[in-house]
């Protein structure tokens, strides 16, 4: 089956993509392109799926780089292919031949590129990571490689949308305690529930950090089970586990 890849005009000429669940070898609740080694899916199926992504990105499987994601603000700089997966939630490079990848299942996958400097980045930004500064830290790490944030594009891929993200009053209070202006990311739900706009938070943080261009692809992971895995949807349906989507970006080969 052909892979289904969402791209952004603003990231050309970089090889990149937000891969949907279509075109993979997994079955059951993981049906499709589950790329999460941390899931309970069959290891062989996940390896096949990741190999298909690497092929689509034009790199060998060992050059499809990732991190052990822990909802942190931490960023690592990748200079060569390595089997290590350090605990972090973003990675950057200026080396051609490497594809930087992030796994998500409702959180924001964010791909970055400064075409003038030849520097790219990828970040996993759930609400914890976004509040802790993972997006700003990714831009700083790119600057250490010669990037200019004013020349950098950041694209937020498929994420849970506000209409599907119901939270309780404690969640809302934690946000506005940090900054009353964060109330803008919430809408009134049923009773004491609120509806949280994660992509709006991501765009706000990116723009406040001075990124040159930021946008969201406007795909909701929760609302489209045919194309996307969703942690929250799997939880609501009482499924034992859930697949992980992959997003990746690579520099053009030298």
Give the model confidence (pLDDT) of 120-146 as tens digits: 999 999 999 999 999 999 999 999 999
Taking a C-beta distance cutoff of 8 angstroms, is the pair 20, 5 a contact? yes
DSSP assignment of 17-82: EEE-STT-SB-GGG-B----TTSSS-HHHHHHHHHHHHHHHTS-GGGEE--B--S-S-EEE--S--
Low-confidence residues of the chain: pLDDT under 50: none
Q: Can the peptide bond before residue 14 be classed as cis, meaning omega within 30 degrees of 0? A: no
User: What pLDDT score was predicted for residue 60?
Assistant: 96
Angle formed by the axes of helices 198-208 and 134-143, nearest 10°: 40
Q: What dihedral angle (degrees, nearest 10) is formed by the CA atoms of 27, 43, 49, 225? A: 40
- The half-sphere exposure of 151 on its side-chain side, counting CA atoms within 13 A, is 12
Taking a C-beta distance cutoff of 8 angstroms, is the pair 50, 94 a contact? no
- Dist. CA 253–CA 59, nearest whole Å: 10
Q: Which H helix or E strand runs over 178?
A: helix 169-178
- Dist. CA 145–CA 77, nearest whole Å: 9
- Dist. CA 203–CA 97, nearest whole Å: 29
Q: Each residue of 75-91: b (16+ CB within 10 Å) or e?
A: bbebeebeeeeeebbbb
User: What pLDDT score was predicted for residue 190?
Assistant: 94
User: What pLDDT score was predicted for residue 165?
Assistant: 97
User: What pLDDT score was predicted for residue 148?
Assistant: 98
Domains, in order of start, for the chain: 5-148+219-250 (3.60.140.10)
User: What pLDDT score was predicted for residue 252?
Assistant: 83
For the full predicted model, state whether its pTM sits above 0.85.
yes
Residues near 79 by beta carbon (within 8 Å), at least 6 away in sequence: 93, 95
């Amino acid at each position: 089956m052909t892979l289904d890849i969402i791209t952004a005009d603003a990231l050309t000429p970089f090889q990149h993509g937000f891969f949907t669940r279509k075109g993979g070898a997994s079955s059951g609740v993981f049906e499709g392109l589950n790329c999460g080694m941390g899931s309970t899916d069959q290891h062989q199926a996940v390896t096949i799926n990741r190999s298909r992504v690497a092929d689509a990105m034009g790199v060998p499987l060992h050059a499809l780089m990732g991190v052990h994601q822990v909802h942190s603000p931490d960023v690592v700089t990748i200079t060569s292919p390595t089997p290590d997966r350090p605990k972090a939630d973003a990675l950057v490079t200026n080396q051609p031949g490497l594809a930087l990848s992030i796994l998500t299942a409702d959180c924001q996958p964010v791909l970055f590129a400064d075409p003038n400097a030849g520097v790219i980045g990828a970040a996993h930004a759930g609400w914890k990571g976004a509040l802790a500064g993972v997006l700003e830290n990714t831009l700083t790490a790119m600057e250490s490689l010669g990037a200019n944030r004013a020349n950098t594009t950041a694209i937020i891929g498929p994420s849970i949308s506000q209409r599907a993200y119901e939270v309780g009053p404690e969640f809302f209070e934690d946000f506005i305690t940090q900054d009353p202006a964060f109330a803008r990311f919430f809408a009134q739900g049923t009773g004491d529930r609120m509806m949280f706009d994660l992509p709006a938070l991501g765009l706000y943080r990116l723009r406040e950090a001075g990124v040159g261009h930021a946008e969201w692809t406007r795909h909701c992971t929760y609302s489209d089970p045919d194309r996307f895995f969703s942690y929250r949807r799997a939880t609501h349906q009482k499924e034992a586990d859930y697949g992980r989507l992959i997003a990746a970006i690579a520099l053009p080969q030298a």
